[in-house]
């Protein structure tokens, strides 16, 4: 069984996330998503709208996703890959090169992002709409 791993906050789920998860799953047979905890989001300078538990439940409902575990630190990736017998690490190309150290442990793939959509854009558009009303 070829196991794939990817990481993220996955807040306010949108087609960019779904496109990433679908293509990640296509690279293997099992997709493990390591989901940023609320505390780790603070480290990343992100404030998710949905709690970790809600974001986890939403991800677990996606047919491409086989398992969701928490991301607490930047440093857990090597042990995550080893402990879960991962074959392929996947991230969007906004992270191009940042995780190449994992090439000693598994294949590393950066996929093109979906243009024109992001959680930040969604939040901004909603705020602008509210101001218009």
88 is a contact residue toward ligand C2G (CB under 6 A) = no
80 is a contact residue toward ligand C2G (CB under 6 A) = no
- Pairing status of strand 88-92 against strand 30-36: unpaired
* Choice from 10, 56, 80, 88 touching ligand C2G (CB under 6 A): 10
Q: Binding pattern to ligand C2G, positions 25-64, x when CB under 6 A?
A: -----------x-------x--------------------
Q: Does the annotation count 123 as an active-site position?
A: no
Closer to ligand C2G at the Cβ: 26 or 131? Answer: 26
* Choice from 8, 32, 65, 80 touching ligand C2G (CB under 6 A): 8
* Choice from 39, 60, 94, 100 touching ligand C2G (CB under 6 A): 94
Compute the distance between CA of residue 18 and CA of residue 20 in angstroms, rounded to an integer. 5
Compute the distance between CA of residue 17 and CA of residue 64 in angstroms, rounded to an integer. 11
User: How far, in Å, are 65, 66, 81 from residue 24 at the CA level?
Assistant: 9, 12, 15
Q: What is the dihedral of CA 54, 36, 21, 60, to 10 degrees?
A: -30
Q: Does the annotation count 129 as an active-site position?
A: no
* Choice from 5, 12, 20, 32 touching ligand C2G (CB under 6 A): 20
Tokens of 121: 């854009």
Q: Which residues of this chain interact with ligand C2G, rule CB under 6 A?
A: 7-10, 16-17, 20, 36, 44, 71, 91-92, 94, 113-114, 117-118
Q: Annotated catalytic sites, by residue?
A: 44, 46
């Amino acid at each position: 069984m070829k196991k794939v791993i990817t990481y993220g906050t996955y807040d306010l789920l949108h087609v960019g996330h779904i496109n990433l998860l679908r293509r990640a799953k296509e690279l293997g047979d099992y997709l493990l998503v390591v989901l940023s905890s609320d505390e780790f989001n603070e480290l990343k300078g992100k404030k998710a709208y949905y709690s970790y538990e809600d974001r986890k439940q939403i991800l677990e409902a996606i047919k491409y996703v086989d398992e969701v575990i928490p991301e607490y630190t930047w440093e857990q990736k090597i042990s995550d890959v080893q402990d879960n017998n991962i074959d392929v690490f996947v991230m969007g190309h906004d992270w191009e090169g940042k995780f190449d150290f994992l090439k000693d442990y598994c294949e590393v793939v950066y996929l093109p992002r979906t243009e024109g959509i992001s959680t930040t854009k969604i939040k901004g558009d909603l705020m602008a709409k509210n101001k218009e009303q």
